[in-house]
Structure 1
Amino acid sequence: MTGLMREAISKNCFRSFLVGNNKVSVDVLQYVDDTIFFGKASMENVKVVKVILRSFEMVFGLRINFSKSQFGAIGQPEDWCISVAAYLNCALLQLPFCYLGIPIGVNPKRKVVWEPIIRKFKAKLSKWNQRSISMTGRITLINVVLTTLPLFYLSFFRAPSAVINRLSAIQRQFLWGGNREGKKIAWISWSQCCASRDMGGLGIKDIKILNNALLIKWKWMMFHQPDHLWNRILVSKYKGWRGLD
């Protein structure tokens, strides 16, 4: 698919989407079997995309699942978007939408964005609350849930204080055995629970610190991956990490 797009661009058949002052060209992004085409909102580009998809089907003997495909354009009339979606035989993309598990086009400062994570977090721990689990087992389960459920969100968004407090409260309740019978006594402070075992703590991950560490990692990678597309886009659009502060 990428090779077909490069050929189309080399023959000036497709006009890519240009980002920022440096005019970074973005035309196709792929992850496993997910593909996103970017380009100028024109019927000529739409026709080229359809030719690329059809050529892919003929060459590899595979079928594009158009029922799971969507088309969207920013700043274009709705009637035009609907007609293009019908031409491509796919659905019309609505903002916000979810891609690879991350909501796109949302305000991460709103608590409603984090509600799915909170529900999953609470449901998981409430199931385990019904069982007799040792303190060591509870600590292990808390860290496992924290790693598997909200980690992806925390890697891309700064969690609001209300969300962090809510997740921490669920953790505390589960750790000390709180359930439908009522609250249980917390024998040490939560900050001490989140301290490392070398410092006399329980080694539970602090959500706020983890969130900050995951976000800071992006700044670290900007210095070590200057040629990567995502880095060049940020530099062109926001002048690097300084423009993101």
Structure 2
Amino acid sequence: MEGRNNMVKTSNVNRWVKGFEVDRNSADSLKITHLQYADDTLIFCDAEEEQLRYLRIILVLFEGISGLHIYRRKSHIYPIDEVHNMEQLSLVVGGEVGSLPSIYLGMPLGARSKSKEIWNSVIEKCVKKLSRWKTQYLSMGGRLVLINSVLDSIPTYMMSLFPIPGGIIQRLDKLRRSFLWQGNKEKKVFHLVKWKSIIVMKRQGGLGIKNLKNQRKTLKMKWLWRYSQELQTLWSKVIKAKYGEENNWELYPDMFGLAQDQQKTVAETWSSQGWELILRRQLNDWEIVRLTDLYNKLETFKGIQEGVDSFWWQRHDRGVYQVKAAYKILNQNNPQIRDWPWKHIWKN
């Protein structure tokens, strides 16, 4: 596989197989020729016969050198946007013509990230699970266990990669709510407790069923955390190349605008004696309140003058972000009565 990688990279250097540029407006744009997972390889090139001929030569050489065989029947060529001579181009390199979106590693490759249609498979999986369960033999407690252990876990993988629309959350909530109260019975059963009171943790008076809106937030935050940690990964480089690295937000833009030297680093502004914030003029009353609020937030900062800067999540002993812990934090602002012994009640 390493030999094939080197051949594809060499072909890109010589402009035989061009791959694609993440940001074509940049002179030093990130170029991607291929991606590989296990024994699957995605190779990118222009829809040009010459490039596909070079690609075919690379694949034939790889087979001859390695002794491995590329399974043509499982190989596909996917056009992006509209390509008129697709059938002709597919004959050059071999393989069937596919269409996007296409399922790869359980994900709809090439689908619009905000499309509701990509969630149909998740809904279908939940419905299929429900149809197999013989609810006449299940108590309400048994149905609750199945919801928490099976139904709640089905959308998690998709939610970790795609933003789940509010309408899909409502459909999943309806499936879980109906199964909890009436199982698969066609006869309608009254729901004795509000759903928002059920989807809170047991120690706060709920049944511990997953709140998908809060779960969506925690999974989004996980990507922000990974972006701050995985600086040299390909996906991080793609984000930087596409959107840039400049900060277009500040927590206190009004105070930043009054700073005498806006190019100072944290190390230059902080010392063991405290913060040295030098402003261009005297402050108004409301600006003093803002500056005091800023200082109060900075008081929690424990500076280290040596070493490389890194992010630290205060809710974990090792400073590492955890989805489970973040979910608990989001559910703390719950209007349920907290001084009741909920855990003891559910346990008994």
Band of TM-score, shorter chain: 0.7 to 0.9
> How do residues 4-153 of structure 1 correspond to structure 2 at under 5 angstroms?
4-10=7-13, 13-20=16-23, 21=26, 22-74=28-80, 77-79=83-85, 81-153=86-158
Q: How far is the alpha carbon of 1:161 from its aligned partner?
A: 1.6
Amino acid at match of 1:161: G
Q: Please tell me whether residue 158 in structure 1 is matched to residue 163 in structure 2.
A: yes
Sort the Cα spacing of 1:216 and 1:60 in 2 relative to 1 into closer, same or farther, 3 A.
same
| Correspondence 1:233 to 2:238 | yes
What is the aligned-residue identity percentage? 32
CA distance in 1, matches of 2:83, 2:47: 11
Q: Which 4+ residue blocks in structure 1 deviate beyond 6 angstroms? A: none
Distance 1:241 1:162, change over 3 A: farther
Distance 1:93 1:181 in 2: 41
1:170–1:147 distance in 2 versus 1, CA, 3 Å = closer
Cα distance in structure 2, aligned partners of 1:99 and 1:165 = 27
Structure 1: distance between partners of 2:152 and 2:37: 22
Equivalent residue number for residue 304 of structure 2:
none
CA pair 178-134 structure 1, distance change in 2 beyond 3 A: closer
In structure 2, the CA distance between the partners of 1:179 and 1:72, relative to structure 1 (3 Å rule), is closer
Q: 1:195: how far off?
A: 1.0
Taking structure 1 as the reference length, the TM-score comes to 0.86
Q: How does 1:178-217 map to 2 (within 5 A)?
A: 178-217=183-222
Other-structure match for 2:253: none
Structure 2 segments unaligned to the other structure (5+ residues): 249-348
Counterpart secondary structure, 1:215: helix
Q: Aligned residue for 1:223?
A: 228
Indicate conservation of the 8 Å contact 2:16/2:51, yes or no.
Answer: yes
Instruction: Give the Å deviation of 1:224.
Output: 0.8
Shift, 1:12, TM fit: 5.3
Measure how far apart 1:11 and its partner are.
5.4
Q: Is this contact kept in 1: 2:135–2:183, CA < 8 A?
A: no
Give the equivalent residue in structure 1 for 2:318: none
Number of residue-to-residue matches in the alignment: 242
AA paired with 2:45?
G
Distance 1:144 1:195 in 2: 16
* CA deviation vs aligned residue, 1:120-178 (integer Å, no higher than 9, x gap): 11120232153422334322321333354322221222222221111101001111234
Query: For residue 18 of structure 1, what is the amino acid of its counterpart?
Result: E
Structure 1 CA distance, aligned partners of 2:138 and 2:74?
42
CA contact (8 A) 2:63 2:69 kept: yes
Q: Normalising by structure 2, report the TM-score.
A: 0.62
Report the CA distance between 1:13 and its aligned residue.
4.2
1: CA distance, partners of 2:142 / 2:184: 17
Quick one: higher RCO (CA 8 Å, sep 6+), 1 or 2? Answer: 1
CA contact (8 A) 1:9 1:15 kept: yes
1:63 Cα deviation from its structure 2 partner: 1.9
Q: Cα gap change, 1:131/1:51 in structure 2, threshold over 3 Å: closer, same or farther? A: farther
Flag the 1:113–1:12 CA change in 2: closer, same or farther, 3 A. closer
Which one has a larger percent helix, Structure 1 or Structure 2?
1
Alpha-carbon distance between aligned partners in 2 of 1:55 and 1:209, rounded to the nearest angstrom: 51
* C-alpha distance in structure 1 between counterparts of 2:69 and 2:57, whole Å: 13
State the SS of the aligned residue for 2:175.
helix
Q: State the distance in 2 between where 1:165 and 1:241 align.
A: 37
Alpha-carbon distance change, 96 to 133 in structure 1, aligned in 2, over 3 angstroms? same
Cα contact 2:152–2:209 (8 A) shared by 1:
no
Helix, strand or coil at the partner of 2:188? coil
